[in-house]
Structure 1
Amino acid sequence: MKTSAVVVTYNRLSLLKECVNGLKQQTDPLAHIIIINNASTDDTAVYLKELKKNDNKNQFIIYNSSKNLGGAAGFNQGMKVFVEKTDDDCVWIMDDDTIPHRTSHSALSSAADALDNKFGFLCSDVRWTNGAPVNTPKVAPEWHKQIDKNLVKVEQATFVSVLISRKNIFKYGYPISEFVIWGDDTEYTTRLSREEECYFVNDSVVTHKTATYLAGTTFANDDPNRISRYEYMYRNLMYIAKKYYTRKKVALQFSIGMYAGINVFLKAKTFRMKRLNAAILGSIKGIFFNPKIEFPVKRTK
């Protein structure tokens, strides 16, 4: 199985270098490493130019965007580059602060083989710098179905370390660019798991070097610079509820958004009104949000 890795990066050069070094050192070598540079303003472009210059194996594919596309559009673009510029079987997607261990890819590849390549997506065991679990996937009710293969069936995962086949991209499309940030991975993995069996691969471990431990971050205490992301999140969660679940779930999600806004207004110590507006406006916008799913164009010989 030939695999391309896709890394989306923005202004985190030191982490990008560590991520790339981890990808280069995989025990099961990658056919291609695709890097989507979201118009970084640090020295990322210089580093990528040098990386490509010394690429004797033609392993690296660099896409320098003229503007910051956002995370969702970055992954959308990365998967398009994968489809259009390679003939590899699978794509392994991650952020620039994802640091793969040496056997991360080989474990995913072995799991794919054990499943006869019949899966929607495979995801890794994501750990923070202290070893604590983060980005935990949503476990399926029949989680134990392939437990003898050291696999746990799941329904949702984050784009921290996820393997997807080329055939499923053609069958189910690309991630939705209009999500901008937060929720694009939830929507896409839900899209796949509703049609295909998807698994958490216990032997594939990566480190997610976020600045803080995500499990301890809440809407009330999150950095004020990140508040706008919550508007996208509540809007996107409303779309997911409308697209994949019942009207009861839609009503519940809307209520959750309203409650979150009021709750954060009462509990936050800073920017209370801004946090309130993010949840309320995001939930309302989600009622009308209806982006289209893009599909690859099949190549003609």
Structure 2
Amino acid sequence: MTRQDNTVVAEGPHEDARADRVVAVVVTYNREQLLAACLDALAAQDRRPDAVVVVDNASTDLSGTVADSHPIGADVVHLHRNVGGAGGFAAGIARAVAVSGADWVWVMDDDTIPRPGALAALLESLADSPVRLSVLSSRAVWTDGTDHPMNRARTRLGASRAERADAAAAHGRPIRTASYVSALLNADDVRRLGLPFADYFIWSDDFEHTARLLRAGRGIHVPGSIVEHRTAVASTAQASPGGRFYYDVRNRLWALTRTRSFTALERVLYGGRTVLGWLTMLARTRDDSLLRVGLRGLVDALRHGPRPSATVLAADPESAGVIRRLERAAAR
């Protein structure tokens, strides 16, 4: 049935959620030890994923070998060119949906170490939700157990009392975007609304993609699902971005100005908050080279939008073909 706001509401709890086919997608680049720990953690889940896809982003260390030889038996995609996390997730999510037949896609970076009950907690919330869900996110902590500032899911602005109550019934809170550091994506919504944009390379690909899935869909943050994000330091992307500031500027502007993933009000609010963060960072660092990097990102964002993901993956025809098929289906 549906409510007057066109939200799809289940007749009762999703009792079959634990039986849905969950495919984990891990993107790796030159982190063989962290990748091994991530795959070990997936194998140790109380409720293991039904399949695992690892996308090796043309690593120059032994990451690809670790993925191939790990006893979890992953489907390993060896890319010929490093297309960044965004390209890796586009290829991996496409393979999980189109090849592995996922009902749900559980995405994470190679430095994400899920605790044993992480997936079970997500599926428990899914089963208990009184409404259809598009995205569920985990609580990401740093190595000291504190919440990681890089991976805080944004609470949905203006969530109604009913939305908050529905989320609480599923042991969570309503969200508007989520990080790919452990997010469970509804594969039907991916088929309908498309994949992340591979051309983002790094940063904001998850921000835009989950916002697209959640513009008309429901999502919740599940604090009982815990993963450890083993970054070198506990900080946000803007703490010390260096040359990556180019992607931060270009991609955030792409997300907010060249997609329909956000409402006009959200563009103003998220855009204003982002610009304030950039200005604060530039004032703190007083680094002219960083300003030049950001301006280059601004100019490129204004000049053109992201290329088609299949074009970005052109060096890997198989992955490009899978992406192309899904994109054609979403466009119908």
TM-score for the superposition, normalised by structure 1: 0.86
Per the alignment, residue 179 of structure 2 pairs with: 158
Pairing 1:95–2:113 present: no
Distance in 2, matches of 1:277 and 1:189, equals: 30
Equivalent residue for 2:155?
A: 139
1:76-87 aligned within 5 A = 76-87=90-101
Q: Do the aligned partners of 1:182 and 1:232 also contact (CA within 8 Å) in 2? A: yes
SS at match of 1:144: helix
User: SS of the residue aligned with 1:182?
Assistant: coil
2:249 aligned with 1:234: yes
User: What one-letter code is carried by the residue in structure 1 that aligns with 2:299?
Assistant: I
1:103: Cα distance to partner? 0.7
Number of the residue aligned with 1:191: 212
Q: 1:70 aligns with which of 77, 80, 84?
A: 84
For 1:31 and 1:185, locate their aligned partners in 2 and report how far apart those are by CA, in whole Å. Answer: 23
| SS in structure 2 of the partner of residue 178 of structure 1 | helix
The answer for the alignment partner of 2:197 in structure 1 is 176
**Mapped pair 1:18 → 2:18:** no
What is aligned with 1:115? 129
Distance 1:295 1:179, change over 3 A: farther
The 1-side partners of 2:140 and 2:281 are apart by 28
Distance in 1 between the 2:301 and 2:244 partners?
14
CA contact 2:44–2:116 (8 Å) conserved in 1: yes
Q: Distance in 2 between matches of 1:171 and 1:126?
A: 28
Partner of 2:164: helix, strand, or coil? coil
Give me the whole-angstrom Cα distance separating, in 1, the residues matched to 2:207 and 2:198: 13
Name the residue aligned to 1:27: 46
Give the aligned partner of residue 206 of structure 1: 227
Shift of the alpha carbon at 1:227? 1.8
* Residue equivalent to 1:45: 64
Aligned-residue CA RMSD (Å): 2.6
Distance (Å, rounded) in 1 between the aligned partners of 2:280 and 2:292: 12
Are the aligned partners of 1:127 and 1:133 in contact in 2 as well (CA < 8 Å)? yes
- Structure 2 CA distance, aligned partners of 1:123 and 1:49? 28
- Mapped to 2, the partners of 1:101 and 1:129 lie a distance apart of 12
Shift in alpha-carbon separation, 1:188–1:262, aligned structure 2, 3 A: closer
| Paired residue secondary structure (2:48) | coil
Q: Deviation at 1:263? A: 5.3
C-alpha distance in 2, partners of 1:248/1:108?
27
Percent of residue pairs identical: 26
- Higher mean C-alpha deviation, range 247-256 or range 118-127: 247-256
Structure 1 25/286 Cα, relative in aligned 2: closer, same or farther at 3 Å? same
Structure 1 gap segments, 5+ residues each: none
Contact between 2:97 and 2:105, CA under 8 Å: does it hold in 1? no
Q: What is the rounded CA distance, in whole Å, between the counterparts of 2:299 and 2:269 in structure 1?
A: 12
| CA positional deviation for 1:290 | 2.3
Distance 2:270 2:187 in 1: 35
1:7 and 2:23 correspond:
no
Query: Could you tell me how far 1:33 is from its partner in structure 2?
Result: 0.9
CA contact (8 A) 1:137 1:157 kept: yes
* Residue aligning to 2:11: none
In 2 relative to 1, CA 286–36 (structure 1 residues): closer, same or farther, beyond 3 Å? same
How far off its partner does 1:112 sit? Answer: 1.6
Give the direction of change, closer, same or farther, for the CA distance of 1:22–1:246 in structure 2 (3 Å limit): same
Find the aligned partners of 2:92 and 2:270 in 1 and give their Cα distance.
Answer: 34
Contact 1:12/1:96, CA 8 A, preserved across alignment: yes
The one-letter code matched in structure 1 to 2:81 is K
Residue 129 (structure 1) aligns with: 143
Deviation at 1:31, TM superposition (A): 0.8
Amino acid at match of 2:38: C
Question: Counterparts of 1:89 and 1:284 in 2: how far apart (Å)?
Answer: 39
Report the CA distance between 1:246 and its aligned residue.
Answer: 2.9
**Normalising to structure 2: TM-score of the pair?**
0.78
Distance 1:13 1:248, change over 3 A: closer
Does the 8 A contact of 1:169 with 1:295 survive in 2?
no
Corresponding letter in the other structure for 1:176: F
